[in-house]
């Protein structure tokens, strides 16, 4: 312990440059408990304590995420490959983009223990392979404060925040699927003690594009877009998490179809929504005692149905007022033994009256009467993915991934479409620590095969026409990091 203190003290003095080596050595020998400088008189213990405090409470933090690589279509002379619905069949060997996030955090601390943080995050994504790309997105810009002396009782551990931020995001890593993501701009308070659990409360607003992109919908929101305001609550108690949300929009009611000569058809799009999510963290991988797993169920109505389920109203501009959705899912990681890890997930969702499109169909040219096709009165999708990982040594592993996706949709004209998609990936991978499933960075090479039926390609992913009729092969390499 004494040796550690001396080494720490020496590092401190080298950085500060307040005294020379000989002078300091002499002072340590003569007065081991007190260091005198022209500025102050500080005990050895105080100087070490301050250094340790600074190490535990850095002034700045830097965090980030990034992925980049090459995805080539081996079926078509190694041209750029297409992604085979990564959210449905898994992301390994199935991503064509470069995406980065860079977050800076400025920390503030007071002697009374209170603290504050300012977060700012920039991000950039691109699907091309050029060496120069324009445009950077501001993903986060918010402040948070905690351990404030004015808080007591149920609010003693509370944290307040305001600004634009990621909020209550839960994802399934191997599919890159966020089943909850309430990100937006707003304010809130977290960690309110209620009974044996903790309550978070927030208000989040988001803007969406108006319907007027094709010049067919006439409403007051065409310039400002659709604004959705959300009231959100999360309660954590033991192994359980419960989300409750309500969404409101004054711009989404009484949409009208217009062919630039007059108003013809009105639709009552959703102007409010509600949602509920219940999430359970099992002890280990499905009660095995090792690893982890989560089971969840979600329901949403109106603005919170369809793509809006589990979000702050994303996709809300397309929902009808009676839209209804339900989602069930589970995922987890099981460390089978010292050599094998296994990540699995299954998710299913059913939607009713979830969307309508805004391309009107001309019924009578003489009267110029139009109708709007309701798109996807009923739809269901199911995703199942497994990723086994075999560790060769501490820097090299073999990753495998198998995925299956099924989707069916029934439209108002009685048309039904069903599709199946399958994917297999083999990815030899280099990393600094293969003993940790979550360790990054890693560089992986891969070969990916996917197969589908004609109905899937025709109705749900027509860009797969660049491959043969019912299957495709991609090859490539990708780097990924987070810190």
pLDDT tens for 393-441 read 999 999 999 999 999 988 766 678 899 999 999 999 999 999 999 999 9
Contacts of residue 268, defined as CB under 8 A and 6 or more positions apart, other chains included, come to: 253, 254, 255, 320, 321
Residue 376, Cβ density class (10 Å: 0-12 exposed, 13-18 middle, ≥19 buried): buried
* 89, containing H or E segment: helix 86-89
Pairing of strands 177-180, 170-172: antiparallel
Q: Using 50, 70 and 90 to split pLDDT, how confident is the model at 253?
A: low
Please, what is the average pLDDT of the chain? 84
Per the listing, tokens 């007051």 go with 220
Q: Using 50, 70 and 90 to split pLDDT, how confident is the model at 263?
A: very low
CA 246 to chain centre: 21
What tokens does 112 get? 């009374």
Q: What percent of the chain has pLDDT over 90?
A: 65
Residue 14 is given by DSSP the state H
What tokens does 372 get? 């709007």
Q: What is the pLDDT of residue 235?
A: 98
pTM for this structure? 0.83
Quick check: 251 and 220 in contact, CB under 8 A? Answer: yes
Q: What percent of the chain has pLDDT over 70?
A: 78
Nearest CA to 99 among 73, 122, 76, 74? 122
């Amino acid at each position: 312990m004494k040796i550690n203190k001396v080494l720490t003290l020496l590092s401190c003095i080298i950085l500060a440059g307040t005294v020379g080596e000989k002078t300091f050595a002499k002072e340590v020998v003569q007065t081991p408990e007190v260091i005198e400088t022209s500025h102050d008189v500080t005990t050895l213990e105080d100087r070490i304590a301050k250094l340790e405090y600074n190490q535990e409470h850095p002034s700045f933090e830097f965090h980030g995420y990034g992925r980049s690589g090459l995805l080539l279509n081996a079926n078509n002379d190694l041209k750029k490959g297409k992604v085979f619905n990564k959210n449905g069949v898994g992301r390994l060997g199935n991503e064509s983009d470069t995406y980065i996030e860079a977050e800076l955090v400025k920390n503030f601390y007071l002697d009374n223990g209170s603290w504050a943080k300012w977060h700012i995050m920039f991000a950039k994504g691109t699907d091309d392979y050029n060496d120069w790309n324009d445009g950077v997105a501001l993903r986060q810009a918010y402040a948070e404060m905690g351990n404030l002396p004015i808080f007591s009782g149920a609010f003693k551990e509370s944290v307040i925040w305001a600004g634009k931020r990621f909020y209550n995001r839960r994802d399934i890593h191997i599919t890159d699927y966020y089943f909850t993501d309430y990100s937006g701009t707003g304010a809130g308070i977290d960690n309110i003690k209620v009974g044996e659990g903790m309550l978070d409360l927030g208000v989040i607003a988001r803007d969406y594009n108006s319907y007027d992109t094709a010049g067919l919908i006439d409403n007051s929101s065409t310039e400002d877009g659709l604004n959705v305001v959300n009231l959100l609550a999360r309660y954590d108690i033991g192994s359980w998490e419960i989300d409750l949300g309500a969404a409101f929009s004054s711009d989404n009611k009484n949409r009208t179809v217009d062919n630039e000569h007059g108003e013809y058809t009105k639709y009552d799009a959703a102007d409010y929504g509600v949602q509920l999510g219940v999430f359970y963290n099992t002890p280990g991988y499905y009660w095995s005692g090792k690893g982890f797993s989560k089971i969840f169920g979600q329901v949403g109505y109106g603005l919170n149905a369809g793509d809006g389920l589990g979000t702050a109203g994303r996709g809300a501009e397309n929902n009808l007022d009676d839209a209804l959705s339900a989602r069930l899912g589970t995922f987890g990681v099981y460390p089978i033994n010292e050599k094998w890890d296994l990540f699995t997930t299954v998710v299913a969702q059913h939607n009713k009256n979830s969307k309508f499109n805004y391309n009107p169909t001309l019924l009578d040219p003489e009267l110029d009467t139009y109708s709007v096709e309701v798109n996807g009165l009923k739809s269901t999708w199911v995703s199942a993915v497994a990723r086994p990982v075999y560790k060769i040594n501490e820097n090299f592993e073999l990753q495998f991934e198998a995925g299956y996706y099924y989707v069916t949709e029934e439209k108002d004209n009685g048309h039904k479409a069903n599709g199946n998609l399958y994917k297999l990936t083999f990815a030899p991978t280099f990393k600094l620590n293969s003993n940790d499933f979550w360790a990054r960075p890693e560089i992986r090479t891969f070969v990916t095969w996917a197969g589908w039926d004609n109905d899937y390609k025709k109705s749900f992913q027509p860009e797969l026409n660049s491959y043969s009729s019912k299957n495709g092969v991609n090859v490539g390499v990708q780097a990924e990091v987070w810190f």
